[in-house]
């Protein structure tokens, strides 16, 4: 039996390796980032009951960022009219910088904040604010 070596690709990416750059500055008050690219695809049918080709449609993006409330307030203080939604398009760079591993960078292009709100409850030790993003492109 051929056993795989225990560290096939080296060190795995982990949260501690992520550095997020927003407005050209590393952000310490980030607690989550979520993003995905999706493309519409469907099978095309002709003769018989199996697909004869495949059609490709629009590419869409879904993203959100979760920041500590004090980070959101600091960003809003610099925003036009103190509204996150009025900040012009910006890029978000997510860098995975593993200690001794290969760095990887993803870039969310032409982003805008689409909402601003707060959800806090009794007993919270910190207030996290999840903000949906509209994204124009993603570079993996």
Residue range 34-67, pLDDT digits in tens: 999 999 999 999 999 999 999 999 999 999 999 9
In a domain, 133, yes or no: yes
In a domain, 7, yes or no: no
Close Cβ partners of 45 (under 8 Å, ≥ 6 residues apart): 51, 52
In a domain, 86, yes or no: yes
Q: Which residues form the domain of 132?
A: 24-40+57-139
For residues 72-77, average pLDDT: 98
In a domain, 13, yes or no: no
DSSP state of 74: H
Q: Which residue has the higher pLDDT, 102 or 9?
A: 102
**Closest to 19 measured CA to CA, from 86, 98, 89:** 98
For residues 98-105, average pLDDT: 85
Q: What is the domain count for the chain?
A: 1
In a domain, 90, yes or no: yes
Please tell me the distance from the alpha carbon of residue 42 to that of residue 48, in angstroms, as a whole number: 17
In a domain, 76, yes or no: yes
In a domain, 45, yes or no: no
Q: Which helix (H) or strand (E) holds 53?
A: strand 51-68
In a domain, 16, yes or no: no
Contact 50, 56 (CB under 8 A): no
């Amino acid at each position: 039996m051929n056993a795989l070596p225990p560290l096939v690709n080296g060190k795995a990416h982990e949260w501690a390796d992520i550095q997020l750059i927003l407005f050209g500055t590393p952000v310490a008050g980030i607690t989550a980032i979520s993003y995905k690219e999706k493309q519409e695809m469907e099978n095309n049918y002709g003769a018989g009951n199996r697909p004869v080709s495949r059609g490709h449609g629009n590419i869409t993006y879904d993203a959100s960022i979760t920041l500590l409330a004090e980070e959101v307030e600091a960003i809003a203080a610099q925003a036009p009219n103190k509204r996150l939604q009025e900040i012009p398009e910006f890029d978000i760079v997510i860098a995975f910088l593993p200690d001794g591993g290969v760095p990887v960078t993803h870039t969310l292009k032409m982003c805008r904040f689409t909402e601003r709100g707060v959800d806090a409850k009794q007993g919270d030790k910190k207030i996290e604010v999840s903000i949906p993003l509209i994204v124009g492109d993603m570079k993996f």
